[in-house]
Amino acid sequence: MIDALTVAIGVTALALAAWCGFAAYRDEPTKDWHFIGMAVVSLLGIIQLVVGLVQLGSGGTPKDGTAIFVAYLIGAAACVPATGFLSLSERTRWGSATVAAGAVVLAVLEVRLFDIWGGGHA
């Protein structure tokens, strides 16, 4: 369950990064549709946080330790909302570039989360 979610968020984060990166390339600020996209990715991040905590609560143990796992879960959930707020007050192409960067960071965090949980065989 959590592995599938991790992969799904990684893929959607990369898609969001490409989309906002394209907006930055076209010299456009983030628009309503972008914010809907960010909301979807953010929602997935929050679901992942909840699922991760539930898994911990029901006896699951991450390969690399609980503290690191929780820290990465929180970071992943906060990443896109934080850059989204930054782009709200930066109505230029650089706001779009900021969201794209945040989404790339999220994708990297998902790769790390996959390892930390001990993905695949756990």
Partner 1 sequence: MPETSAGSRTPKAAADGARRSLGTGPGRLLVALYGVFTVAAASRAAYQLIAQFDRAPLAYILSAVSAVVYAFILFSLVRGGEGARRAAVVCCALELVGVLGVGTWTLVDRSAFPDATVWSNFGMGYLFIPIFLPVTGLLWLRRARRA
Tally DSSP H helices, then E strands, for the chain. Answer: 4, 0
Q: Is 45 in the site for partner 1 (CB under 8 A)?
A: no
Q: What is the DSSP letter of 31?
A: -
- Residue 42 binding partner 1, by CB under 8 A: no
CB of 88 to partner 1, least distance (A): 11
Residue window 53-92: x/- pattern of binding to partner 1, with contact defined by CB under 8 A: --------------xx--x---x---x--xx--xx--xxx
Contact 49, 73 (CB under 8 A): yes
Distance CA 15, CA 115 (A): 22
Query: Smallest distance from the beta carbon of 83 to partner 1, in angstroms?
Result: 5
